Amino acid sequence: GGCWHQCCPGRNNACWAPGTHRARCYCDSYCERTGDCCEDYRAVCRHAAVGCAVGPWGPWSRCSSLCGVGSKARSRQVTIPPRHGGEPCPDLKQRRGCLGEHPTCGTAK
């Protein structure tokens, strides 16, 4: 069996080829942990692997609450998607708590 036809990132049970003695061998990057990679996995998939690359974080959004506890969020974009079993993308969104302190907060009942 061989991975010449496909290489998959992460754990993907659909990413396999027929191996020796009718057993399946895998072409996903998780096969390195489980030890059931096809014979040509390293040559085909790791050689061609491209890890994910992301851009810089964007600015934080405004607090979701004008007065009191709320949240802010920011995001970043994928600049190079992972291919052929390369490293997967890190988180693309972050959220954190905030306190809304609009000038009208002190006058609201």
Q: Is the pLDDT of residue 96 over 90?
A: yes
Q: Are strands 16-18 and 24-26 parallel, antiparallel or unpaired?
A: antiparallel
Q: Is the pLDDT of residue 108 over 80?
A: no
Q: Would you list the DSSP string of 26-81?
A: E-BTTHHHHT-B-TTHIIIIIHH-B--EE----PPPPPS-SEEEEEEEEE--EEE-
8 A C-beta contact, residue 64 and residue 70? yes
Rounded distance, CA 5 to CA 75, Å? 34
According to CATH, the superfamily of the domain at 54-78+89-99 is Thrombospondin type-1 (TSP1) repeat (2.20.100.10)
CB under 8 Å to 5, separation ≥6 — which residues?
A: 17
All CATH 2.20.100.10 domain ranges of the chain, comma separated, are: 54-78+89-99
Length of the chain: 109
Question: Tell me: the pLDDT tens digits for 14-69?
Answer: 988 887 777 889 988 889 889 998 888 888 887 667 788 999 999 999 999 999 89
Higher-scoring residue by pLDDT: 32, 71: 71
